[in-house]
Amino acid sequence: MDKVQRDEIAVEECMRRYQRICPENVLTDYKGYPHEIKKLKQELESILELTAVGNSEVHTSNISDPTGDTAVKRVDLAMQIAVLEKMGELVELSYAELSEMHREILDIFFFKKGMMGYNVQEYADSHYMSIASVYRERRHALNDFAEHFEEWLNAV
């Protein structure tokens, strides 16, 4: 399977996962992609390093095909990695199109460490806004993000 086919399948999977785009879910899931990709790559490497499996004493009616099973598992893991990488790329492209203010607000709610209430209050104070205004801008930022994400998803 070449990269173009893999990307097409990855985009289809993105669309299936996010049929109704909920930007909160997309951004929350995005935070876990690096860890999940790393875990899948380690699993893929461990499969590639496996040696032949010996015969076992267990007899079943099914014929064991460790080579075929390994090949299918490798393709499945490679596809999962491609899907996560493609979705991460779409999130980054969408995020880059947001205004600086909207990126700052989304950083507070999705990426900044610490106590969210304190971070929101600090942002509101530094930008001479009420807390309600920060949450209103958060909704606008999420809507803008969803629009850009959907555009990128449909463009691919």
Residue-range definition of the domain harbouring residue 91: 3-50+67-155
Query: What mean pLDDT do residues 86-103 have?
Result: 93
Domain contains 137: yes
Q: Say what the pTM is.
A: 0.72
Domain count, the chain: 1
CB 148 within 8 A of CB 94: yes
Is 37 part of any domain? yes
Q: Give the pLDDT score at 152.
A: 86
Q: Would 57 be classed as within a structural domain?
A: no
Q: Give the C-alpha separation, 26 to 145, whole Å.
A: 10
Sign of CA dihedral 135, 137, 140, 146: negative
In a domain, 138, yes or no: yes
Work out the mean pLDDT of the chain and round it to a whole number: 82
Q: Residue 58 domain-assigned?
A: no
Q: What is the pLDDT of residues 10-41, one digit of tens each?
A: 777 766 665 567 889 889 999 999 999 999 99
Find out whether 63 and 128 touch, Cβ atoms under 8 Å.
no
